[in-house]
Amino acid sequence: MKTKPFLSHDDVVTLLNGARAEAQKNQWAVTIAVVDDGGHLLGHYRLDGAAPMSARMAPAKARTAALGRRETKVYEDMINNGRTAFLSAPDLDGMLEGGVPVLVDGHVVGAVGVSGVKSTEDAQIAKAGISALLGA
């Protein structure tokens, strides 16, 4: 039987706090979500001033990144480049930049999704959370 790494509760807290620090450093009001490799919500912060819609979009971006095993920007780019049929992909409803998978030893163990500012800034925040966990 094969084994694989997984996110512990402490890992989730580290991801959330690392992302939150990046958002607060830049005074960005966002929602941050962390999911496991199956897209199930493990942790969620909605910072003061974050738009209500961001509380739905951040988990959707995280889930899409985890299930698709790639950054959500890939999907946004495909759609923007004319592959609009991809909008009908099942269970992928966060196809905007800001969802980033967490890779450990070649395994996707989960993902971080952020919503509330420009999509490039959402991704910056998500990657800061992952850097806080993996030190990369």
Res 44: pLDDT: 97
Res 92: pLDDT: 85
How confident is the model over 106-127, as pLDDT tens digits?
Answer: 999 999 999 999 999 999 999 9
Res 62: pLDDT: 98
Would you say how long the chain is, in residues?
A: 136
Note whether 28 and 121 are within 8 A (CB). Answer: yes
SS3 of residue 67 by DSSP: helix
Res 12: pLDDT: 98
pTM: 0.96
Q: Is 136 a residue whose pLDDT tops 70?
A: no
- Tracing tokens 């989730």 back to the chain, one arrives at 12
Note whether 92 and 72 are within 8 A (CB). Answer: no
Residues 3-10, mean pLDDT to the nearest whole number: 95
Residues 68-92, mean pLDDT to the nearest whole number: 92
Note whether 64 and 99 are within 8 A (CB). Answer: yes
Cα distance between residue 12 and residue 35, in whole Å: 9
Q: Which two tokens stand for residue 46?
A: 């909605």
Q: Which two tokens stand for residue 37?
A: 């490799």
CA distances for 41 relative to 93, 110, 118, 129, angstroms: 15, 9, 23, 16
Cα distance between residue 22 and residue 41, in whole Å: 21
How confident is the model over 43-74, as pLDDT tens digits?
Answer: 999 999 999 999 999 999 999 999 999 999 99
Q: Is 102 a residue whose pLDDT tops 70?
A: yes
